[in-house]
């Protein structure tokens, strides 16, 4: 049985936001990445996480009016909706 792959999404999102700066800047949109957690590990392959978040952020930027800021924050929320 293959071992589970746990990926820390914090550095992935941070670097994704940096890589997407030119795309956002072309629309005068600022990408603002805030870290509320030091580490968030999920059981999902890294390449699938990057693909999904890239598509989501691109769709949000395409939908937003120019000259705005997109705030991306990482925060762990427990099942009972309480913050970690």
- Give the global pTM: 0.77
Give the pLDDT confidence of 8-19 residue by residue, as tens digits.
Answer: 999 999 999 999
Least confident of 1-5, 44-48, 53-57, 71-75: 1-5
Give the pLDDT confidence of 10-62 residue by residue, as tens digits.
Answer: 999 999 999 999 999 999 999 999 888 889 998 988 889 999 999 999 999 99
Q: How far is CA 66 from CA 20, 23, 63, 84, in A?
A: 15, 12, 9, 34
Report whether 24 contacts 32 (CB < 8 A).
Answer: no
Report whether 74 contacts 9 (CB < 8 A).
Answer: yes
- Beta strand pairing call for 41-43 and 30-35: unpaired
């Amino acid at each position: 049985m293959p071992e589970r792959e746990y990926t820390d999404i914090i550095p992935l999102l941070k670097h994704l936001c940096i890589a997407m700066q030119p795309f956002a800047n072309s629309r005068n949109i600022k990408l603002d990445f805030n870290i509320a957690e030091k580490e968030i590990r999920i059981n999902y392959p890294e390449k699938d996480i990057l693909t999904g978040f890239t598509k989501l952020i691109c769709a949000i930027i395409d939908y937003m009016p120019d000259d705005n800021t997109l705030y991306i924050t990482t925060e762990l929320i427990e099942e009972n909706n309480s913050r970690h």
